[in-house]
A and B are shown apart, each in its own frame.
Chain A
Amino acid sequence: MKFPFRIAWRFLKSGKGQTILILSGIAIGISVQVFIGLLIQGLQSSLVDSTIGNASQITVESQENNGEIFNYQEKEEVIGNNVEGITEMSPTLTLPAFISLEEEAESALIRGFDLEKAEGIYGFREKIITGRLPENSAEVAVGIGLAENLELEIGDTLEVFNFEGDQGEVVIAGFFDIGVTNLNESWIVSEIETAQSIFQRDSITAIEIQVEKVFEADRIGEEVQALLDDDVKVTNWKDANQDLLSGLQGQDISSIMIQIFVVVAVVLGISSVLAISVLQRSKQIGILKAMGVNDRSASLIFLFQGLILGIIGGFIGIALGLGLSYSFMIFATNPDGSPVVEIVINYNFIALSFLIAVAASTLAALIPAKKSSKLQPIEVIRNG
């Protein structure tokens, strides 16, 4: 093993121009592969994040519309103790109602939360633009769109009512902007107790859940359903976002196609340069064989060249790919200075790219290695 490696290394070192040529080929190929891969992944995760990052990914609701869920603390505990992969869980009492200030009235959605728990999903604290979150009972925060429509101000007292005859009064503590117009125009956020006292009940309407691996929401949802009675239904974001999912899948496939073709081009490049190098070094191979190098070692010389090129080229390629990704984040920015696509370094993906570089280069060396193995010393010696 040592001997073919030694020869391989020296062949690479002495043919510097050729070696640099192949290395650049591998490095550029792998860097494009890494960059495209990371870019698409970043694009997808920011797309997914903006779609469902601040929303319930798995929702436990009553079978009936706006139906009640009783003993919700118990259910929360059962879910929390038995299902893995859940990051956030928050009960909510959400019901439509009308609000009025003096003459004007508007329909709204009263969202009673355990604000401590809901913070993990919605991040209200950062989204308050004036005033503060509700702290006392009978306090609410109002979406900025709704506030503008009704010309509300902090400290105003709103009347809340519905057709069932529930009613109550709340005081505005602050305004929030959660970035989605129709939510800003309808949501009124309060502590769960506030909502419960308005609608005169001690139940809730839903338990909202976020999970660590968003694409496993359907599987985790099933687990949750299995734990609970049939009077509740469990939905997940994937069911509600089929279009987004098929879009993501399409992106995945095109990204993989690009990566495959890049790797194929790299393999062909290495293979052809190494094949030429076998021809160039046929004299050396011939004399080595005359000196007693067997066919296996003769082919190993070229396999090792492929392996060494793959390892070094892979390293350079990954460094270049990461450099490209970083510069893309720095130079391709939105007007507010944030990157167009937030690229996340996925170590598994990078390790895979490295393995692909090494495997592809070694594979590319197979044909030259076979040639080297078949070379007869007598051909070289007879023909000079």
Chain B
Amino acid sequence: MDSILTLENIDKVYGSKIKTQVIFDLNLSFQPGTFNSIIGQSGSGKSTLLNIMGTLDKPTKGKVLVEGRDTGALKKNDLAKLRNEAIGFVFQFHYLLPEFTTLENILMPQWVKNKRIEPEIQRRAEELIEVVGLEKVKNNLATDMSGGQQQRAAIARALMNRPRILLADEPTGNLDSETSNSIYRLLKDINKEFQSTFIVITHDKKIAERTDRIIELKDGKVYTDVTQK
């Protein structure tokens, strides 16, 4: 099967006077519909890698191919469109817009698309709210929710445009273990149901073990890459 996301010979160097290289000649590719985890110590380049995969950051050298398209060759606006339509993000911090309600935050990617909210879209948003269990607080402002609820809203938002790729950077990093378990169960279910490709950074080995593939980074290189049955 063709891979949905491919990294070819990626280098990433920060700084111009004093150069710090964080990723070294890295090659990876991901199959559609798989649930992947990236682990590694802090400073191993996990987040940088994820941002490069999500086209938020540019590699110093190498290519990022999303669904076969070389993102380095895309114009800024096309890149923005690609992010809007193909990629969903969940960050360690939820980044909900505090000026909007939960439902509005979840609809945001559709608004960005400049689409009118058709009844079908509205239904999809309501469904997602149900999936993440936020029916009761859907009309609350984003700030009027608990941390776990906010992170679940962020997940629902990431899924709103049915992205083919979902990138998550320690989505449960700020949550207690019980909430984080329920969120991972949720991600797993969604992965099955929507057949999107999940790439999740975690520092929790137990969680990583429940994914299809575990990639361990060390000093900006792939240290181990294990596909599980």
Contact = CB atoms under 8 A, between A and B. Distances in A.
Interface stretch (A9-17, A66-74, A322-330): A9-17
A290 interface: yes
A283 B150 CA distance: 15
Contact of A284 (B57, B80, B84, B97): B97
A291 B109 contact: yes
B56 A378 contact: yes
Given A3-B114, A384-B93, A291 B108 contact: yes
A292 interface: yes
Contacts of A292: 80-85, 109, 112-113
B76 interface: yes
A293 interface: yes
Closest 7 CB pairs of A and B: A292-B84, A14-B99, A287-B95, A294-B80, A292-B83, A378-B56, A10-B99
B95 A283 contact: yes
B8 to A, nearest CB: 21
Contacts of B82: 292
Contacts of B111: 3, 6
Contacts of B56: 290, 377-378, 381
A377 B108 CA distance: 16
A290 B114 contact: no
Contacts of A289: 80
Interface of A is mostly: helix
Interface in B32-62: 47, 51, 54, 56-57
B91 to A, nearest CB: 6
B77 interface: yes
B214 to A, nearest CB: 24
B68 interface: no
B166 to A, nearest CB: 13
22 contacts: A3-B111, A14-B99, A284-B99, A287-B97, A288-B108, A289-B80, A290-B95, A291-B83, A291-B89, A291-B157, A292-B82, A292-B83, A292-B109, A292-B112, A292-B113, A293-B112, A297-B112, A378-B57, A381-B51, A381-B56, A382-B57, A384-B93
A213 interface: no
Given A287-B97, A291-B84, 11 more contacts: A3-B114, A6-B111, A10-B100, A14-B99, A284-B97, A291-B108, A291-B109, A294-B81, A296-B77, A378-B51, A384-B93
Interface in B137-173: 157
A264 B79 CA distance: 39
Contacts of B109: 291-292
Nearest to B89: A290
B47 A382 contact: yes
Contacts of B81: 292, 294
Contacts of B51: 378, 381-382
Given A10-B99, A11-B99, A381 B91 contact: yes
B77 A294 contact: yes
Contact of A2 (B77, B85, B114): B114
A114 interface: no
A168 B99 CA distance: 92
Interface string B83-115: 111000101010101111000000011011110
Interface string A273-286: 00000000001101
Contacts of A14: 98-99
Nearest to B56: A378
Interface in A352-384: 377-378, 381-382, 384
Name, among B82, B111, B113, B157, the residue most crowded by chain A CB atoms within 10 Å (CB to CB): B111
A295 interface: yes
B129 to A, nearest CB: 18
A24 B31 CA distance: 57
A366 B223 CA distance: 48
A376 to B, nearest CB: 8
Contacts of A296: 77
Interface string B62-82: 000000000000001100111
A220 to B, nearest CB: 57
B99 A293 contact: no
Contact of B99 (A2, A13, A286, A297): A13
Interface in B102-136: 108-109, 111-114
Nearest to A384: B93
Nearest to A287: B95
Nearest to B52: A378
Contacts of B91: 381
A381 B94 CA distance: 10
Contacts of A286: 95
Contacts of B108: 288, 291
A256 to B, nearest CB: 40
A294 B84 CA distance: 10
A287 B51 CA distance: 13
Contacts of A288: 97, 108, 112
Name, among A3, A14, A286, A287, the residue most crowded by chain B CB atoms within 10 Å (CB to CB): A287
